[in-house]
């Protein structure tokens, strides 16, 4: 009887294992957390409806990019459609951001960074409700800053207070966090975060550079302007690298793909 019982339990275990999912997706893991479970129950259908209205595959959800404009205190989430171009998915008011216009160069300056970053951390247990980490200091920051301590721990988060971070309302960070989870779960390894001092129109560039405190940033802002213009014109995200001087270099990914096809 004992042998039969052991055999029966082994069969049950093997059959159960065959039907058990091998591995949960990143999104499934996040949705299993109490806070995110509540968010998904309230908002996932709204996200899917927005996808349908913008011709974004709702089940696969495209790559996304976050764009920030400090002076306007606005954050935009853009999502890639099946034709490869990005469309504005949602726009959010930034509740609080500290410092002045210009890049972050050292620890304790209370500045919000400016430049081309990506999300490198998801924290659903944040003391600021939900948070998404940004990879400051990046390679450009490291080369352009002479400070021994350049700072770090820059996040997009809720809780409506900022000390160098981008503080959103809890309601807004739910949407941003959920979109980032979906993009990551569907294969986007690095979600770009582009942070600009303002919408970099010719009028704004002329206006802000007319103020003495901002003239020191002219060369840096001219560099950011190249990446800004690329996205505005093409609605695609450029590949970003950094040269030995700390300047951003922008390459059209479609041009690289064309070169690879020619070589083959």
pLDDT tens across the length of the chain (264 residues): 434 333 333 333 334 444 445 689 999 999 999 999 999 999 999 999 999 999 998 888 989 999 999 999 999 999 999 999 999 999 999 999 999 999 999 999 999 999 999 999 999 999 999 999 999 999 999 999 999 999 999 999 999 787 779 999 999 999 999 999 999 999 999 999 999 999 999 999 999 999 999 999 999 999 999 999 999 999 999 999 999 999 999 999 886 554 444 554
Distance of CA 133 to the CA centre of its chain: 9
233/229 Cα distance (integer angstroms): 6
Q: Which DSSP helix (H) or strand (E) runs through 145?
A: none
- Identify whether 51 is a catalytic site residue: no
Q: Where are the domains of the chain?
A: 23-200
Q: Of 179, 44, 166, 40, whose CA–CA distance to 95 is shortest?
A: 166
Intra-chain end-to-end CA distance of the chain, in Å? 66
CB 87 within 8 Å of CB 81: yes
Catalytic residue among 165, 179, 184, 217: 165
218/44 Cα distance (integer angstroms): 42
Please tell me the pTM assigned to this model.
Answer: 0.88
252/227 Cα distance (integer angstroms): 10
- Identify whether 161 is a catalytic site residue: no
Tokens 């459609």 appear where?
A: 81
Which CATH superfamily does the domain covering 23-200 fall into? L,D-transpeptidase catalytic domain-like (2.40.440.10)
Catalytic residue among 51, 157, 179, 184: 157
């Amino acid at each position: 009887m004992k042998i039969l019982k052991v055999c029966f339990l082994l069969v049950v275990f093997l059959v159960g294992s065959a039907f058990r999912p091998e591995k949960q997706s990143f999104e499934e893991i996040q949705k299993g957390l109490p806070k995110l479970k509540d968010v998904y129950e309230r908002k996932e259908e709204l996200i899917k409806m927005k996808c349908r209205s913008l011709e974004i595959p709702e089940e696969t959800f495209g790559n996304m990019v976050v764009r920030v404009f400090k002076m306007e205190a606005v954050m935009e989430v853009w999502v890639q459609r099946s034709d490869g171009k990005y469309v504005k998915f949602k726009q959010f008011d930034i509740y609080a951001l500290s410092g002045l216009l210009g890049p972050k160069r050292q620890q304790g300056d209370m500045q919000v960074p400016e430049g081309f970053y990506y999300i490198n951390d998801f924290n659903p247990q944040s003391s600021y409700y939900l948070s998404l980490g940004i990879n400051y200091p990046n390679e450009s920051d490291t080369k352009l800053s002479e400070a021994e301590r350049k700072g770090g721990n820059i996040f997009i988060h809720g809780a409506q207070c900022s000390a160098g971070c981008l503080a959103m309302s809890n309601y807004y960070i739910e949407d941003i966090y959920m979109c980032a989870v979906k993009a990551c779960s569907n294969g986007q390894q690095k979600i770009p975060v582009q942070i600009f001092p303002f919408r970099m129109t010719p009028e704004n560039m002329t206006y802000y550079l007319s103020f003495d405190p901002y003239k020191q940033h002219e060369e840096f802002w001219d560099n950011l302007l190249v990446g800004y213009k690329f996205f505005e014109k093409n609605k695609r995200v450029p590949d970003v690298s950094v040269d030995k001087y700390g300047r951003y270099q922008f390459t059209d990914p479609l041009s690289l793909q064309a070169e690879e096809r020619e070589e083959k």
